[in-house]
Amino acid sequence: MTSITLSGVNKSFGANFPVIRGVDLQIEDGEFCVFLGPSGCGKSTLLRMVAGLEMGYTGEIRIGDRVVDKVEPADRQVAMVFQNYALYPHMSVYDNMAFGLRQAKTAKAEIERRVQDAARILQIEPLLDRMPKALSGGQRQRVAIGRAIVRQPKVFLFDEPLSNLDAALRVHMRSEIATLHRNFPAASMIYVTHDQTEAMALADKIVLLHAGKDMLKHGSIAQVGKPLDLYHRPRNLFVAGFLGSPTMNFLPGTFIAQEAAGARVALKGGEELVVPVNGGALAPGGAVTLGVRPEHLAPVAAPAAQTLTRPVTAVEHFGEYSFVYLDSGTPTPMIAKVAGDGGVKAGDTASFAAPIECCHLFDGDGIALNHLTSL
């Protein structure tokens, strides 16, 4: 009953500056949904539309079974945690958390109980009398979350809540937010980030958004799905390139023929690979792009079927693994992520197996061809 439904939602700033286009999206009861995308793609705008802070859109937003397009933010049963925390600087931690309840004329004892409960959950009881400026970044973050909790909302909204924290604290708070989600199973959460690790770690569902030209052409939503769906079955080049680090290798090639195991593709150097997708719609000789993630390339002793052989231009060692940079004749080098030191050095020629189930194929428009097997 606290599902969130967006239907045909568009938003522009001014007459000719569209930011959100054709969003149809359903977020289920109790789901942890992450809006992910490059900077400026409209993640915050979309979140703020759900919060009621951004009006003047077309389409319809429902929270539960109520259309909220004309409902004031405070009446939408949502709570929001801002990137810069937005704690009221002139109020103590306690007052910050109690402010919304006081505005709603909640009974004093009830306020006290809820604030104390939230403070206990977040372990900020000793801080209740402090002013925000006397808190560390992590503590402010907790108070901001506490302020959301006490309102007992049906939807939690987070706008890049961790981006002002240092790396170690970010990982720690990330797990706390996951805990929070477990503690409030009834509430849905929408979480905005441009950090794919955060998205992969937290999300039940990722909504990956397009920016700029892609948004105009295909609508705002690039792909919606479970994190591993997006990782293993990206729908297009943008999704494939956005998730994963280092980013997926894209190798230009031509389609030869469809076989039982999949589509046979010839790469520039003459190597031929089979990708387990349905290329029936492709014309032989048509241009395609083969995609394979650096972590899926496995070093092999000698060239063979389904391998890629390239000169090594550089190797970066990280101890546990190494990045091997390979000259692929394209402007961006091909990268292989290998265990240990990789056993190769710049100047060598190295071969890597591209396991058939790990290859992706994109047509001339950058759209992924359907895999023959589902996940």
Ligand X SMILES: Nc1ncnc2c1ncn2[C@@H]1O[C@H](COP(=O)(O)OP(=O)(O)OP(=O)(O)O)[C@@H](O)[C@H]1O
Residue 43 in contact with ligand X, rule: CB under 6 A: yes
Residue 13 in contact with ligand X, rule: CB under 6 A: yes
Residue 188 in contact with ligand X, rule: CB under 6 A: no
3-state secondary structure of 205: strand
Tell which residue, 271, 290, 311, has the closest CA to residue 361.
Answer: 290
- Residue count of the chain: 375
Tell me which residues in 32-51 interact with Mg ion (CB under 5 A). Answer: 44
Q: For residue 274, give the H/E element and its range.
A: strand 272-275
Residue 249 in contact with ligand X, rule: CB under 6 A: no
Residue 220 in contact with Mg ion, rule: CB under 5 A: no
Taking CB under 8 A as the criterion, the residue among 13, 60, 104, 332 binding another protein is 104
- Binding segment (CB under 8 A) for another protein, from list 17-25, 83-91, 169-177, 350-358: 83-91
Query: Are residues 54 and 214 in contact, defined by beta-carbon separation less than 8 angstroms?
Result: no
* Residue among 150 and 336 whose Cβ is closer to another protein: 150
CA 230/CA 241 separation, integer angstroms: 11
CA 220/CA 232 separation, integer angstroms: 21
Q: How far is the CB of 48 from Mg ion (least distance, A)?
A: 9
Tell which residue, 286, 306, 304, 287, has the closest CA to residue 357.
Answer: 306
Residue 44 in contact with ligand X, rule: CB under 6 A: yes
Single-letter code of the amino acid located at 129: D
- Binding segment (CB under 8 A) for another protein, from list 15-23, 70-78, 354-362, 366-374: 70-78
Radius of gyration over every alpha carbon of the chain, rounded to an integer in angstroms: 24
* Residue among 199 and 274 whose Cβ is closer to Mg ion: 199
Proportion of the chain in helix, strand, coil states, percent, rounded to 5: 30, 35, 40
Taking CB under 8 A as the criterion, the residue among 30, 38, 100, 299 binding another protein is 100
Query: Are residues 157 and 51 in contact, defined by beta-carbon separation less than 8 angstroms?
Result: yes
- Binding segment (CB under 6 A) for ligand X, from list 32-40, 68-76, 90-98, 141-149: 32-40
Q: Given the rule CB under 6 A, which residues bind ligand X?
A: 13, 19, 37, 39-45, 194
Q: Given the rule CB under 8 A, which residues bind another protein?
A: 48, 51-53, 66, 70-80, 82-84, 86-90, 99-101, 103-106, 147, 151-154
